[in-house]
A and B are shown apart, each in its own frame.
Chain A
Amino acid sequence: MIVSAAEDLSVFGTDPWWLVCVKAVFVFAFLMVFVLVSIVMERKVVAWMQRRVGPNRHGPWGLLQSLADGVKLMLKEDLIVKGSDKVVFLLAPVVAAIPAFMAFAVIPFGPADHQISIFGERTTMQLTDLPVGILYILATASVGIYGIVLAGWSSNSPYPLLGGLRSTAQMISYEIAMGLSFAAVFIYSGSMSTSEIVNSQDERWFAVLLPVSFIVYIIAMVGETNRAPFDLPEAEGELVGGFNTEYSSIKFAMFMLAEYVNMVTVSAVATTLFLGGWRAPWPISGVWEGANHGWWPMLWFTLKLQLLIFLFIWLRGTLPRMRYDQFMKLGWKVLIPVSMVWLLLVATVRALRNDGYDFQEITLYVAGGVFAVLLVSLLVDYLREKGDKEEEAARSLAPQEQFDPMAGGFPVPPLPGQTLPPVPRRKPRSERQLVPAAAESLNDTVSVDNTAVKETDGA
């Protein structure tokens, strides 16, 4: 592989205006249909995982369920919260939904030469490409989060506020990990343009070449789209609905749409960057020469996309939600450092290769490096655990002052930090001793005999 210093993007930007429109509409329609199918698929797959039937009323095999849901949502009463900041409140769902679509403009559905013909016009299967295509995707994805943050803030209600705040923090921490995982890809492909990145994966997918980046990206993309197990901004068990609590009708539908379109978008980015984009998977590409030509690439692309969506659904069906602080810890203390170190390694390997060292030597260095990092992490974990234990032991040895629950004349529960004296408990029957007959009346245990206890109370 040779790093191409300046990529050739002259293929793009030559389409006539009507073809650009057709392509734009196609991208929009593709996303919409994909989302509708994904929602049905999600409900079906989750239903199977939970041994249910899932939706089966609308259309054959329940396929029109999401369409029916969409129509129903539009017909619902549209509420605007009285105390809300109305402009922002109305703007938020739009801000959330539109950038989700925009990122798709630079996703290649097929190779970057004139492979297909539409109405006699030969063109590429990509709306456009930019020399900084991936940065454009990162930018639009970040704007989308504003929708959630603003929705949370403008609703003027505690649950959405908490949801919006969580979303902000989540966004900030996971964008970094995501960006770092991209950087490794840039180093290897030598380009930020999506079509170039796919081109440079003709031998090996980056998922194989850069497994750590791939895993980091997969985690970050789930966090980025607010999906389980990272669906903290809309955690229904905690925040009712999170940022969308106060939304109804079409505005709520917009948020749902944005969430699913985002899912598709990040999956498309994962496909493009790590899974060879539109390239046919290995056994097929080896056997069939024409698999990467004509309209076929779109099929492979769609299949890969669908696979990633299935991953999202699988996660949702299996995992409980992470806690907010644990999630932040995962982002800042695990993903970002790991990505950094990995990026360092990748850069080093790249530089070595450019200087002409052979592959095996490099592999050895890399394996050694990874091993060393793991060893250090193990050591750190071990030491920390030890420290924790010592701390705990010291804490348990600390003297505690006596607490008398009856000091005020009547029994009170202990305040935080105070402890009750041990409460005498009845012994198990097997250990209990028989009380002599004379002391029977003093015995205060509840006697379980079958004779009723008679009491005269003057009546």
Chain B
Amino acid sequence: MATSVVVSESQAPPRTWPRVLLVLGRVILGAIFIIAAYTKLHFNGGWHLGDYHFFFGMAINSYNLLPVWAVELLARVLPWFELALGVFLIIGVGLRWSGIIASALLLVFIAAMTRAYIMGLEIMCGCFGNNEKLGPWTLIRDSSMLVLALAVTIGAFLIKKHRVVVSS
């Protein structure tokens, strides 16, 4: 029974639109992460490669979630992590892992933002640059990004599974 399914799938013309959608999704998601990294390194009209972490750290700290040492560490690492994640997503290398990590990262961001919003903290989002106020719009935007990240992750797993079935 299983063999006949494999034979019929291998004979059917390959569907390209799921792959095209996946490429489109991961490129958009990757570009968003690269832009997020870029706005943390380039602001106030110039590059801040030597001191970006002070500014970003101040934005992270306003969430009142982490001790200062963790804020400083996160502020140093996160922009480069976002940049690397964006590149990996666009190139499509290790897509399933990149998708999972992107989804998890966005989930953490949204949780922190929702908490701050519920607590009534009037703070900067820190998502794209240092001067964007946290509010319903930033929550909706990040939630949309999470939906996209989940779609890319699920798509990457389904296409991989399809490939395995066809090749066997």
The yes or no verdict on A and B being binding partners is: no
| B residues adjacent to A (C-beta < 8 A) | none
